[in-house]
Amino acid sequence: MLRKWVIILIGVLLLIMATLFYFAMKQAKKLHRDPIVLMNKYYRLKQSNPEAAKNALLIVLNQDNNYLPAHKEFSQWLLNGDNVQQALHSLERIDNLLPDNDDVYALQLGYLYYLNGDWEKSTRLYVRMMEHVKGTVKLQAQQALNAMASYLPFYQDYAFVEDVPALYASAEWFIKGSVIDCCTEPTVFFANLKTIPHESKNNIEPAKEANVLLNDDRFKKKDIAVSSRFLKHAIDKQPDNIQTLKEAGYAAIRKGKKIKAIHYFTQAYNESNEPSLAMQLAYLYDQINNKPAAYQYFKLASRSLDKNLSFQAENALTILGGQQTKVLPSPYFSEIYFNPFTQSRFGLTVRPFVFRIGIEQHDLMQSRTYLFFRRTDDNRSKNLGEISQIYEDNVQIMGIGGQVTPFRGLPIVGFVETGAAYDLVYRDRNRWRGDLRGGFMYYQEYGARPAYFDKLQISFCYYSDWYADVTYFSRYKNDVIGLIRTHQGIHLLQYHSSLLNLYMTGRVIADTRREFFNNLAEVGPGIAFVPSNRFNLQLRFEHIKGAYLPVGGASINPYGKYYSNNLVQLHFYVTM
């Protein structure tokens, strides 16, 4: 049996080495191609074979995401294909690579910000252009500022009062033309600009009340009450305008009305599917303790093409791991705990299962009342006629229970459960008996928390956890059993939300009846694989050295003082 577990452990280590070797080979096989050759290929094929030309651009950008000529070409390609969101990120990259970029690419970027409702970013960009450029581009930037100022007075400081063209109100001007070479002069490009006249969503005349507000001292001082009235009026006039909904959401946050803010941001998100709005909604839901909704909006935000935003959302998903499965409305809850394990010492497989469903209160004691179902069985316990051979407590229990957290700030839970127990293996007694148990549990984690990594990480980040309980059991002849267990280790490998841990584990058990099998100490190394740290699921392999503690002759130990054991354990917990 020991040989079997040694082979399994060696197999796991070989699997880890094979994984590392695979990533190393994958990196080594990446062929770096000359970007100039690829760009020449792009120019040669962009008319005759657009798809092949696009692939050439993608190869360049995959090799070097800072290669400016490729970004310029790709941004125009995306604009002509109406891929506005991707074009936005490509133009942002150009603006980051060229901080003084004040030509047509900056104008396009500002317009896409406008379309997305990011008027603050659009304004900052156009103000910068007004300070550095001349001619047509400067005029277009000024017209954009005027258009925004004519709608929401937060932007009135950037407008010329005498020049209020209906640039956005009468028609949507689309800053996209034919795909141009990166060396084309901006003036040549503007000759190809398209103007697509149609019924615009933003085609409204500023109301008289809005004109009054423009000169209202209270509004200039950002009076919250006045701002709220104006925003309500603007939303009534145009309920699908993203920027107005966002402004209303921020105003609600300033007033402490989170539910109302969620309402406005939800409307804005439904209109735009903007990842940053999903992120805002996720934070708001998290603040009002609606973790499942927060998880879903963080998941939507994680799909953003903005790597920083996506990364923040991915880490938030990790922090909220386990909350996404909750489906019962508050205050109801249910949970499943399944912890099967196989040990080499007796060739024994044990399958503990617990299910609870009930009501939890978010009061000072965090009290819970519930119905429960417990079942534990193994593969070796059986009845041999007059003699039962028992390895584990093979039992099924149904009943009611309750939990409280008596000390604020300390993860100590008091509990009591009572019900009817049924012996799954006949033990020469009545199969049905009453069961009463109660006590205290403690669990705490320390050290590095699991996180999200977009690349494979090999690290020595320390972590630990401690668990302890003291429980009274009426069915075990009024025995009181205490347990303390710990894992001390490192997050050796982390990739996305998966991780591999190496650790040392220790466990001590003692009881008041001095049964030899309830008095022992164990220690040993272990390895744990977590497929996703967003779910409470992990597979553990442990090699244990143990010793029975002295019990003073209260019960006879037929196995000797010391023992070795290899353990494979699946840990699964889900809340619903």
Give the model's pLDDT for residue 194.
32
* Beta-strand relationship, 520-530 and 536-548: antiparallel
Record the tokens describing residue 264, joined without a space: 């406005």
What are the tokens at 3?
């040989």
Q: What is residue 312's predicted lDDT score, i.e. its pLDDT? A: 87
The confidence score (pLDDT) of residue 552 equals 82
Question: Which SS3 state, helix, strand or coil, does residue 214 take?
Answer: helix
Do domains 65-196 and 332-575 share one topology? The answer is no
Name the β-bridge partners of 495: 498
Partnered with residue 484 across adjacent β-strands are 468, 508
Cβ neighbours for 124, distance < 8 A, ≥ 6 positions apart: none
| Whether the predicted pLDDT of 336 surpasses 60 | yes
Q: Alpha-carbon distance 50 to 42, whole Å?
A: 8
Report whether 335 contacts 573 (CB < 8 A).
yes
Average pLDDT of the segment spanning 20-42? 60
Cα separation, 237 vs 230, in Å, equals 11
| Residue of 435, 443, 438 whose CA lies nearest to 375 | 435
Map tokens 């009426």 to a residue.
474
* Mean pLDDT, residues 52-59 taken together: 79
pLDDT, mean of residues 325-343: 91
Provide the pLDDT for residue 214. 33
Percent of the chain with pLDDT over 70: 74
**Tokens coding 90:** 């490509």
* Mean pLDDT value across residues 528-547: 94
Averaged pLDDT for residues 398-408: 93
* Range from 242-246, 392-396, 433-437, 463-467 carrying the lowest mean pLDDT: 242-246
d(CA 219, CA 237): 19
Q: Please, which residues bridge with residue 458 across strands?
A: 493
pLDDT, tens digit, for every residue of 155-213?
444 434 333 333 333 223 333 333 333 333 333 333 333 332 333 333 333 333 333 33
Residue in 542, 534, 539 with CA at minimum distance from that of residue 574: 534
User: What was the pLDDT predicted at 177?
Assistant: 36
Please give the backbone phi and psi of residue 376, each rounded to the nearest 5 degrees, phi first.
-135, 130
> Is residue 252's pLDDT more than 60?
yes
The answer to which of 14-18, 309-313, 407-411, 497-501 has the lowest mean pLDDT is 14-18
User: Which CATH architecture is the domain 65-196 placed in?
Assistant: Alpha Horseshoe (1.25)
* Cβ atoms of residues 99 and 114 within 8 Å: no
Rounded CA separation 293/324 (Å) = 8
CATH number of this structure's domain 332-575, picked from the four choices 2.20.25, 3.30.70, 1.10.3470, 2.40.128: 2.40.128
Query: What backbone torsions phi and psi does residue 324 show, to the nearest 5 degrees?
Result: -70, -15
What confidence category does residue 325 fall into, taking pLDDT thresholds of 50, 70 and 90? Answer: confident
| Distance between CA atoms of residues 249 and 264, nearest Å | 5
Query: C-alpha angle 451/457/458, rounded to 5°?
Result: 120
pLDDT at 70: 82
pLDDT at 482 over 90: yes
Nearest to 272 by CA among 447, 178, 280, 375: 280
DSSP state, 513? S
pLDDT tens-digit series, residues 339-387 = 999 999 989 999 999 999 999 988 888 899 999 999 999 998 776 655 5
Q: What percent of the chain has pLDDT over 90?
A: 35
State the CB neighbour count (10 A cutoff) for residue 349.
16
For residue 550, give both structure tokens. 């002295």
pLDDT digits (tens, 9 = 90+) for 71-128: 788 878 787 776 777 778 788 877 777 766 656 777 787 778 777 767 777 777 777 7
| Lowest mean pLDDT across 21-25, 210-214, 226-230, 525-529 | 210-214
Contacts of 44 (CB under 8 A, 6+ apart): 53
- 């090999």: which residue's tokens? 458
Q: What angle do CA 540, 476, 425 make, to 5 degrees?
A: 70
* Chain segment 127-163, per-residue pLDDT in tens: 777 766 666 667 777 777 766 655 444 444 443 433 3
Give the chain's mean pLDDT.
78
The secondary structure element, H or E, covering residue 548 is strand 536-548
Decide which of 532 and 68 is more confident.
532
The full set of domain ranges for the chain reads 1-30, 65-196, 332-575
Contacts by residues 239-246 (CB-CB < 8 Å, ≥ 24 positions apart): 239/267, 240/201, 240/267, 240/271, 241/201, 241/202, 242/116, 242/117, 242/268, 242/271, 242/272, 242/274, 243/117, 243/119, 243/151, 243/152, 244/152, 245/117, 245/271, 246/117, 246/277
pTM for this one?
0.61
Task: Identify the band that residue 44 occupies on the pLDDT scale cut at 50, 70 and 90.
Answer: confident
- pLDDT value of position 33: 62
Q: Strand runs (DSSP E) across 91-159, as ranges? A: none
pLDDT class for 514, splitting at 50, 70, 90?
very high
Phi, psi (degrees; rounded to nearest 5) at 257: -100, 80
- Helix (H/G/I), strand (E/B), else coil: 164: coil
In what helix (H) or strand (E) does residue 17 lie, and over which residues does it extend?
A: helix 2-28
| Nearest alpha-carbon partner for 525 in 483, 480, 488, 500 | 488
pLDDT at 200: 32
Q: Does the pLDDT at position 265 exceed 60?
A: yes
> C-alpha distances in angstroms, 74 versus 51, 54, 183?
12, 8, 14
